[in-house]
């Protein structure tokens, strides 16, 4: 707002200076022109010097009246120019304000992402340090004890590797695509599903679906969707996967999710619930969203009435 006021005052000051200069020039030109006309008339008509003097004495009165009226008009136009300057300043600054808000939003999002990533990394690092400290401080440690600690350290190391891999995938997909190839969603989905998850009923309908994109990123998108559908399912639940046209649909049974909480799942490090043995970091669907955006695909996530989610990714069809 302060910038808009300053720009408005600047517009008004420029108008006032130019208007005052124009008024002064006009006043001088009118005064000189009137004097010249009167003298020229006297010379042609042979009027007396006295009449000429009286006429010239009346010129300051006419000049002052002209100056007064012109000054009043200048004051009115100054108010008008301030109003116009206010509108113009708002129009000029509007794109800047929009850009500033976007930059602030992006910066806040970046700060939250870094803070969340640091928090997620702190957990395995703390666990790793505790295991090492316990092994060093235990005077009665045996080979079997060390083996058990090493096994736990391997688990921690794998968790850190998964987290770093997820962060790298998210950053890569947000950067955009380096290449585009013809991809068959049905073939990639069949590779990801393999023999199917144990303990779940799997229903697949894989029809040819040709799209353009990065095969590695699209495979990661499919894998994240399938992994999310399996991990957040219920014992004896159901997994449905379908490809057709240029779309991929993954649906699963699971806990009931309130529709207003669905969008939250698309943000990094967002989980509706977490258990002690949870190995997920809340990055799966955010990576899916980033990969879909990089491919110009439309992502739709909806909660199923009986529990679980239905996720539809509609890629740009190959022409």
What are the beta bridge partners of residue 314?
247, 298
**How does DSSP assign 174-216, residue by residue?**
HH--S--EEEEHHHHHHHHHTT--TTSEEEEEE---EEEE-HH
Q: What pLDDT score does 239 carry?
A: 93
Maximum separation of any 2 CA atoms in the chain, in Å: 135
More confident residue, 13 or 308: 308
Write out pLDDT tens, residues 33-52: 655 555 555 555 554 444 44
> 15: how many CB neighbours lie within 10 A of its CB?
18
- Can you say how many angstroms the Cα of residue 270 is from the centroid of all Cα atoms in its chain? 18
In this prediction, what percent of the chain has a pLDDT beyond 90?
15
The domain limits of the chain are: 2-105, 115-175, 181-314
Give the closest residue to 185 by CA, choosing from 142, 225, 125: 225
What sign does the CA torsion over 282, 172, 128, 145 have? positive
Q: Which residue has the tokens 């997994």?
A: 239
pLDDT at 41: 54
Average pLDDT of the segment spanning 208-214: 89
* Average confidence (pLDDT) over 206-221: 88
Domain 181-314 has CATH 3.30.565.10: yes
Stretch among 28-32, 245-249, 255-259, 308-312 having the lowest mean pLDDT: 28-32
Q: Dump the DSSP string for 3-66.
A: HHHHHHHHHHHHHHHHHHHHHHHHHHHHHHHHHHHHHHHHHHHT--HHHHHHHHHHHHHHHHHH
> pLDDT for 90-138, tens place per residue?
777 777 777 877 777 667 766 666 666 666 677 677 878 887 888 788 8
Of 183-187, 281-285, 312-316, where does mean pLDDT reach its minimum?
281-285
Mean pLDDT of the chain: 77
């Amino acid at each position: 707002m302060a910038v808009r006021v300053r720009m408005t005052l600047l517009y008004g000051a420029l108008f006032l200076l130019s208007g005052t200069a124009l008024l002064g020039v006009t006043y001088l030109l009118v005064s000189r022109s009137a004097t010249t006309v009167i003298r020229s008339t006297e010379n042609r008509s042979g009027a007396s010097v006295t009449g000429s003097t009286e006429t010239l004495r009346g010129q300051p009165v006419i000049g002052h009246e002209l100056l007064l009226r012109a000054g009043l008009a200048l004051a009115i136009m100054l108010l008008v120019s301030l109003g116009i300057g206010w509108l113009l300043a708002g129009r000029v600054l509007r794109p800047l304000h929009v850009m500033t808000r976007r930059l602030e939003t992006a910066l806040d999002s970046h700060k939250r992402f870094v803070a969340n990533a640091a928090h997620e990394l702190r957990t395995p690092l703390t666990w790793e340090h505790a295991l090492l400290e316990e092994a060093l401080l235990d005077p009665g440690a045996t080979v079997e004890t060390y083996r058990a600690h090493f096994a736990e350290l391997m688990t921690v190391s794998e968790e850190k590797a998964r987290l770093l891999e997820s962060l790298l995938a998210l950053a890569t997909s947000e950067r955009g695509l380096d290449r585009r190839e013809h991809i068959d969603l049905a073939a990639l989905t069949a590779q990801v599903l393999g023999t199917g998850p144990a303990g779940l009923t799997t229903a697949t309908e894989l029809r040819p679906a040709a799209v353009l994109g990065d095969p590695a990123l699209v495979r990661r998108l499919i894998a994240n969707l399938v992994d999310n559908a399996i991990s957040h399912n219920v014992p004896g639940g159901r997994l449905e996967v379908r490809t057709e046209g240029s779309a991929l649909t993954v649906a699963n049974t699971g806990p009931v999710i309130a529709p207003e909480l669905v969008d939250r799942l698309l943000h990094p490090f967002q989980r509706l619930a977490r258990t002690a043995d949870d190995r997920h970091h809340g990055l799966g669907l955010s990576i899916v969203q980033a990969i879909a955006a990089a491919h110009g695909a439309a992502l739709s996530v909806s909660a199923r009435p009986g529990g679980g989610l239905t996720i539809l990714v509609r890629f740009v069809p190959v022409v």
